[in-house]
Amino acid sequence: MERYGRLDTPGQDAAQAELVRLLVEAAARSGLDRGEWARQAQGDQEFAVLPQSTPEEVVLTDFVGHLAACLRRRNTFVKTRNVMRLRLAVDSGVAVPAALGHAGPAPVAVARHLNAPQLRKVLAALPGADLGVVVSDRLYQDVVRSRIRGLDPELYARVHLSHKEFRGYGWIHVPGHSAEQLSTLLAGEKRRMHTPAVAATAADRSQYVHEGVAFQGDVTGDVNFGQSAGRRTLGGDR
């Protein structure tokens, strides 16, 4: 969540409860059962693993749409200082239970996507936007480009991500805003992306896993999602 650290203890408690309420409502309206998610609370965010049977297109259309609508309804009736804005990251990859939560490429990748500076830049430039979404290149190519369930690849802007050991591409989507708007905001990033590509390293290739899905989000907020072999992960911050 944005500005979560500025809240006092009761404020943080209320913000966490509100984030959970929004996630529960959006999931229910999308026909998703949060009781089947392996959820990992992370203070001002949530990381969760969804059943592998969960269709990615339902998450990218129904869940994203309902979450945006829930945020819009909530923010309409609160003071500006109490507005909640969320970042949501969605990826596909391996995530397995571990001693402190989950291990695997998907949890790492979703965290890198969620904290992409380009996503923060877009939301900072669009103060009226309640939700910013970034999906992995794998999900974009395999799911978004299929146009299944009304998905429109023209509403996603590509960005290059490079942080620590992670390098790859992501696609930013902001409900209610056109691809042209996002492209204008990210013009500097696009110019950099068009420079000659460097040969992929083993670290680069390791991010393109073949099983699983991941999500994460920011209060103002974040949400994360991912999938493992047999499970799919979803996560979110405020």
Q: What is the pLDDT of residues 109-161, one digit of tens each?
A: 898 899 899 999 999 999 999 999 999 999 999 999 999 999 999 999 999 98
Q: How many helices (H) and strands (E) does the chain have?
A: 9, 11
Structural Rg of the chain based on CA atoms: 16
Closest Cα to residue 223, out of 133, 103, 151, 95? Answer: 133
Residue 47 to residues 88, 117, 151, 166: CA-CA distances in angstroms? Answer: 10, 20, 24, 19
Residue 201 amino acid letter: T
What mean pLDDT comes out for the span 35-52?
A: 85
Closest Cα to residue 122, out of 74, 82, 159? Answer: 159
CB 159 within 8 A of CB 191: no
Q: Provide the pLDDT for residue 222.
A: 53
CB 34 within 8 A of CB 27: yes
Q: How many CA atoms lie within 13 A of 40 on its CB side?
A: 24
Residue 21 amino acid letter: R
- Out of 35-49, 138-152, 204-218, pick the least confident: 204-218
Pull the structure tokens for residue 85: 């804005």
Q: Provide the pLDDT for residue 45.
A: 85
Q: Provide the pLDDT for residue 42.
A: 76
CB 34 within 8 A of CB 49: no
CA–CA distance, 76 with 237 (Å, rounded to integer): 20
The percent of residues in the chain predicted with pLDDT above 70, rounded, is: 77
Pull the structure tokens for residue 65: 């749409």
Q: Which residue has the tokens 């999906």?
A: 135
pLDDT band at 230 (very low <50, low <70, confident <90, very high): very low
